Structure 1
Amino acid sequence: MKPIVQTSFAQANQGQHPGGSLYLVATPIGNLEDMTYRAIRTLRECDIIAAEDTRQTRKLLTHFDIPAKQLFSYHEHNKAASGPEIIRYIIEGKNVALVSDAGLPAISDPGSDLVRLAIADGIPVIPIPGANAALSALIASGLPTERFTFIGFLPRERKDVMEQLQGLGAASGTLIFYESPHRVKRTLELLKEALGDRSIALARELTKRYEEFVRGTVSECQQWLEEHPPLGEYCIVVQGASIEDELREQNAWWQELSLEEHVARYEQEGMSRKDAMKRTAGDRGVSKRDVYNALL
């Protein structure tokens, strides 16, 4: 099977592609000056703007004096119907700009689904880069930037959060999370429980007037939030595992054991089978469901 190759967005402008193109346009994450000249020009030139929140996008267009376009609603709850319709417009020759409420589309929003649909139909996908909250928080966090993992929003259920965090416990790269103000305290509690009292940075209201960075251990940042109630959206940047943690993981006693043997070892220590399977899943950084299914 041959790879899908898109050599240049200019092909679409030179008549080499029969239809239009999909432009992924970054929008401000706070300060309106985050907007690039290229993003403004692209929004002016595209035939259709697909937006996560059309009301928010209308405000942006008005601010930059961009003529009213055909605004198309595209979000998590209507993507199944809206996605194919947007693709149809592009195939008919329309250029479509996709924007999210803030930052890069396709990051923690359904834009990635639309990108996959476009690629499947041979439509050129053209990124118009700009502001991004995760990377902005990372570069100002003071934590290592050589290797990092973007996780985004954690699940809502505690057990699902703990499964995901335990799977990240041995990752040596810096970890980046998004969190809302009403959940950030709880998330710090779970981070501390699953990963330990690591160094972190809390980034709030990025590029806005009240932008704020709080740097310290999880415990220190928890204390800060007790004294300064959370406001605004947060990026949580978390130090990765230490070399010692990595070595400990690599030399784990269970590495040579099969799943059944691993579970049996905990059962011999007096654990119930259910708890033994849960502990095994945590050791190996996999979900409990994977262990259960493997041992059925």
Structure 2
Amino acid sequence: MKGKLYLIPTTLGETEPLEVMPYSVRKMIEQIDYYIVENEKSARRFIKKITPKKSQPDLQIMLLDKYAEELETRTYLNACDQGINVGLLSEAGVPAVADPGATIVKLAHEKGIQVVPLVGPSSILMALMASGMNGQNFAFNGYLPIDKLDRKKAIKELERLSKEKDQSQIFIETPYRNEKMFSDLKAVLTPGTRICIAVDISLPSEYIRTYTAKEWKQQQPDLHKRPAIFIIHK
């Protein structure tokens, strides 16, 4: 019998794991010794935090970072062929959503390996839940263009799609560029378009607010270097 691939969520920051995820996550980490991760140091720290008694030397860590070669990553699920369960551990939040782990999940399906997603915090869904926007019809757009002109064009296009489809448009930005994104949203969007900004989700410093573009011009939240989700709806 083949082993399974477990998709293991992690916290979105320095939060106690069992405050934001069920006990089943801890239970599976106690049982699994083979892990595919983005960063070995942070993965080991999370595993130690949620299961302090687990033997760190027994862990088999496979890296899925920007240096990982495709031929090598295609061997990462070989343990499953031997009946061994493997854990895919996200760097923050849930694996395979805005996360490179999707390539491993695709490989699991190709190899006929059962994929088991575990419950945990997703900043994208938690932001949508708290936004007051359309949760029946929404799209996640990842990162918008870095170039200022291209970014403004993308924002206008998302606003058009939102109105045309009655669809909430979700996107993210590198934390140190949050302020530029915020400025462009206020400058480009029509006054009545709603903007939700959700930062530090699930942390003590959590900040989630939805205002119109016009109302946001009177607000100046601190977004610098804080993980943020942006949502717009016209």
State the match for 1:29 in structure 2.
12
Q: Structure 1 CA distance, aligned partners of 2:224 and 2:76?
A: 38
Unaligned 5+ segments in structure 2 are: none
Q: Assess if the C-alpha contact under 8 Å between 1:43 and 1:49 holds in 2.
A: no
Q: Assess if the C-alpha contact under 8 Å between 1:27 and 1:34 holds in 2.
A: no
Question: Which has the larger helix fraction?
Answer: 1
List aligned pairs for 1:1-296, cutoff 5 A. 18-30=1-13, 31-32=15-16, 33-64=19-50, 65=52, 66-68=54-56, 69-78=59-68, 80-158=70-148, 160-162=150-152, 164-168=154-158, 169-171=160-162, 172-192=166-186, 195-197=189-191, 198-221=193-216, 223-225=218-220, 228=222, 230-239=224-233, 241=234
Structure 1 stretches of 4+ moved >4 Å: 192-195
Q: Structure 2 CA distance, aligned partners of 1:112 and 1:79?
A: 15
Q: How far apart are 1:147 and its partner, in Å?
A: 1.6
- Matched residue count: 222
Unaligned 5+ segments in structure 1 are: 1-17, 242-296
Q: How far apart are 1:142 and its partner, in Å?
A: 2.2
Q: Secondary structure at the match of 1:122?
A: coil
Q: Which moved more, 1:49-58 or 1:195-204?
A: 195-204
* Cα deviation digits, residues 240-288 of structure 1 (max 9, x gap): x3xxxxxxxxxxxxxxxxxxxxxxxxxxxxxxxxxxxxxxxxxxxxxxx
Q: How far apart are 1:235 and its partner, in Å?
A: 0.9
Q: How far apart are 1:135 and its partner, in Å?
A: 1.0
Q: Structure 1 CA distance, aligned partners of 2:6 and 2:217?
A: 40
Higher relative contact order (CA 8 A, sep 6+): 2
Q: How far apart are 1:186 and its partner, in Å?
A: 2.1
CA gap 1:205/1:229 in 2 versus in 1, 3 angstroms: closer
Alpha-carbon RMSD: 2.3
| TM-score normalized by the length of structure 1 | 0.68
| % identity of equivalent residues | 27
Q: Which moved more, 1:138-147 or 1:104-113?
A: 138-147
CA gap 1:62/1:122 in 2 versus in 1, 3 angstroms: same
Q: How far apart are 1:91 and its partner, in Å?
A: 1.9
Q: Secondary structure at the match of 2:131?
A: coil
